[in-house]
């Protein structure tokens, strides 16, 4: 199936305090080129650049793709808070003893208790596991690349339909040329005889039938387009086969075939001394030019 070189894919996800966005933009390019843009404040992602490039390359056979990755938020896990119940019980017991000994009436509240040293413990902040972040990021890149591929296939389907329809027109006109080609020599012979007859009516002279035959044969050889027709038909067949190939980059092959097809059409137009054939050759060249514009978008 034909795939377009242009497309767009995007995936967003949130994990804890981290927000990840992956964006892929594909445009026309003669070769495969994948550019990866990573956030500068996340140096740990630099080691993933080559992995990202290889991953995207599985979905893109030709064209320029810009991969933009945005990762925002803190990589720190939330701090864990706990209570040292043993210390809290000691403070409560000491508070009761003080109340009894000095006849105090100052009840101890939970707020007061939490202010005593050692009652609350805060675990040290831990950094998020780099491997988990990398795995998450690569998964999102793969999902965005799949999204991009889906769009490229949809656009490619439209390109294939358009190219197929235009190829049918070229084949139809070429078949008409093939049927007209044998009549070119006979029409030339008739025109030549008519001119000679008109000239002989004005200037009485006998003209050589053998010389006339030689002239007709020379014209037939000079204007023979049978080889060009055969080659152009072969190119059309190859073009159709390339359009039907599955999962293969065919853009450059199609472009080459169109160059060859245009060369044959030019030769037909210049060799054939026949108004209708020349007109059809011009129609073919015009359609081939439109096809070539479309092929520039094919992966």
pLDDT tens figures, 225-280: 888 999 999 999 999 999 988 767 899 999 999 999 999 999 998 887 788 999 99
Neighbouring CB atoms inside 10 A of 138's CB total 15
**3-class secondary-structure state, position 61:** coil
CB contact set of 34 (below 8 Å; sequence gap of 6+): 53, 56, 57, 60, 64, 65, 67
- The phi and psi torsions of 41 (rounded to 5 degrees) equal -80, 5
| CA distance to 74, 124, 132, 139, 282, per residue, from 127 (Å) | 9, 10, 11, 21, 70
Per-residue model confidence as pLDDT tens digits over 185-230 = 666 555 655 665 555 556 555 555 666 556 555 555 566 788 899 9
pLDDT over 90 (residue 44): no
Q: Which domain holds residue 95?
A: 81-122
Q: Are 8 and 148 in contact (CB under 8 A)?
A: yes
211: three-class secondary structure by DSSP: helix
Q: Assess whether 203 and 174 both reside in one domain.
A: yes
Same domain, 146 and 221: no
Q: Any residues with CB less than 8 A from the CB of 44 and at least 6 apart, and which?
A: 130, 133
Q: Is 1 among the domain residues?
A: no
DSSP run (H or E) holding 195? helix 130-202
Whether residue 228 sits in one domain with residue 285:
yes
142, 239: one domain = no
Which position has the token pair 């404040």?
Answer: 41
Q: Is residue 2 part of a domain?
A: no
- Tell me the DSSP string of 219-266: HHHHT--HHHHHHHHHHHHHHHHHHT-SS---HHHHHHHHHHHHHHHH
pLDDT digits (tens, 9 = 90+) for 226-238: 889 999 999 999 9
| Judgement on whether residues 90 and 142 belong to the same structural domain of the protein | no
Residues 186 and 205 in one domain: yes
Which residues are within 8 A (CB) of 123 and not within 5 positions of it... i.e. 6 or more apart? 79, 80, 81, 82
Position 129 pLDDT exceeds 60: no
> What is the reported pLDDT for 76?
45
Q: Whose structure tokens read 């359609």?
A: 287
Q: In this structure, are residues 87 and 116 in contact, taking their beta carbons and an 8 Å threshold?
A: yes
Q: Are 284 and 164 contained in the same domain?
A: yes
Please name which of 10, 290, 265, 19 lies closest in space to residue 148, comparing C-alpha atoms.
10
- Non-local CB neighbours of 193 within 8 Å, separated by 6+ positions: 212
Residue 224 domain flag: yes
Counting the structural domains of the chain, the total is: 3
């Amino acid at each position: 199936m034909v795939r377009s070189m242009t497309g767009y894919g995007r995936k967003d996800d949130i994990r804890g305090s981290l927000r990840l966005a992956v964006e892929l933009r594909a445009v026309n390019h003669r070769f495969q080129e994948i550019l990866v843009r990573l956030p500068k404040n996340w140096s740990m992602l630099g080691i993933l650049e080559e992995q990202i490039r290889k991953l995207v390359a599985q979905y893109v056979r030709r064209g320029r793709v810009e991969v933009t990755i945005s990762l925002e938020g803190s990589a720190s896990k939330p701090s864990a808070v706990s209570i040292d119940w043993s210390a809290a019980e000691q403070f409560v017991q000491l508070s009761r003893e003080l109340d009894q000994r000095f006849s105090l009436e100052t009840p101890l509240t939970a707020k007061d208790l939490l202010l005593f040293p050692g009652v609350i413990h805060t675990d040290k902040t831990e950094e998020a596991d780099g491997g988990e972040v990398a795995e998450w990021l690569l998964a999102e890149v793969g999902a965005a690349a799949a999204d991009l591929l889906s769009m490229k296939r949809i656009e490619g389907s439209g390109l294939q339909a358009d190219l197929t329809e235009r190829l049918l027109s070229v084949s139809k006109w070429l078949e008409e040329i093939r049927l007209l080609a044998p009549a070119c020599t006979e029409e030339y012979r008739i025109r030549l005889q008519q001119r000679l007859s008109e000239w002989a009516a004005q200037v009485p002279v006998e003209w050589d039938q053998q010389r006339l035959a030689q002239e007709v044969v020379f014209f037939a050889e000079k204007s023979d387009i049978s080889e060009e027709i055969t080659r152009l038909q072969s190119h059309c067949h190859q073009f159709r086969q390339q359009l039907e190939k599955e999962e293969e980059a065919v853009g450059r092959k199609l472009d080459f075939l169109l160059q060859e097809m245009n060369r044959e059409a030019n030769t037909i137009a210049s060799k054939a001394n026949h108004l209708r054939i020349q007109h059809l050759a011009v129609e073919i060249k015009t359609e081939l030019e439109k096809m070539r514009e479309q092929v520039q978008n094919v992966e």
